[in-house]
Each structure stands twice: as structure tokens, then as C-alpha cells.
Amino acid sequence: MALTKADMTERLFEELGLNKREAKDLVDTLFEEVRCALVRGTCVKLSGFGNFTLRDKSQRPGRNPKTGEEIPISARRVVTFRPGQKLKARVEAYAGTSEQPQEPIQEQPRTSTDSE
């Protein structure tokens, strides 16, 4: 099961004793503030976890994969995430660092389906 904001809210309620309203507001505000910062053009650094940075990409040629028609991909600004040392180290410790990866990960984390 993927971790969601509801799970984070629940944990703040159970472990820190915030009431559910406060916990939910806090989780919502945290992600909203990170998003607002990025929209303003500000990078966000969460030490130990990672940095969200912005990249400005210039226009480049593209193609409609269905029709083969050439269409330029317009210049755009994109968000990139660079995991911090601590996060990388803890993820590397997960199966697969050792010679023979155990069971392939459940839920196939490699396929990044857009769940929006």
C-alpha cells in the first residue's frame, strides 16, 4: 500500500497526540508550502530527505508518438528531486543491494504510473 497524507495524519495523531484536525492541517500545509515555494521559483531543501530543485528546459523537437507528426516541445520549467545522503543510504539497504535481489518488490515501484 502506498503511503498517503491520511497515513501521515494518522501517525501524528497516534504518536504525537495532535488532534485529527490539527494533524490534517499540518500535513496539508507542509506539502502546500513546498508546492508554493516551487511555484514561486524557490528551491526546497529538506536535509536528510532531499532537495526539490527547478530546471528550465529550452524548447526541443518532439514527435506525436501516434501520428509521427513533428511538434516542438515548448520551453518549460520542471521540478526535480535529488534524494539526500541519508534517504539514499536507507533505500540502498533495501533488497537488491545484496548480490541476488530477493523477491521483486511488491507493488512494482519501478513503474511510475501517474496516480493523479
Partner 1 sequence: METESTQEITVTKSELMEVLSRKQPQLAYKDIELAVKTILEQMTQSLSTGDRIEIRGFGSFSLHYRPPRMGRNPKTGDPVPLSGKYVPHFKPGKELRERVNASVNPSVSDNEKG
Residue numbers 37-56 binding partner 1 by CB under 8 A: 37-50, 52-56
Does residue 85 belong to the site contacting partner 1 (CB under 8 A)?
Answer: no
Widest distance between CA atoms in the chain = 57
Residue numbers 11-40 binding partner 1 by CB under 8 A: 11-12, 15-16, 18, 22-23, 25-27, 29-31, 33-35, 37-40
CA 109, CA 77: separation in Å to the nearest integer? 26
Which C-beta is closer to partner 1: that of 20 or that of 96? 96
Does residue 99 belong to the site contacting partner 1 (CB under 8 A)?
Answer: yes
Which C-beta is closer to partner 1: that of 20 or that of 77? 77
Closest CA to 5 of 22, 21, 28, 35: 28
Return the sign of the alpha-carbon dihedral for residues 27, 33, 38, 43. Answer: negative
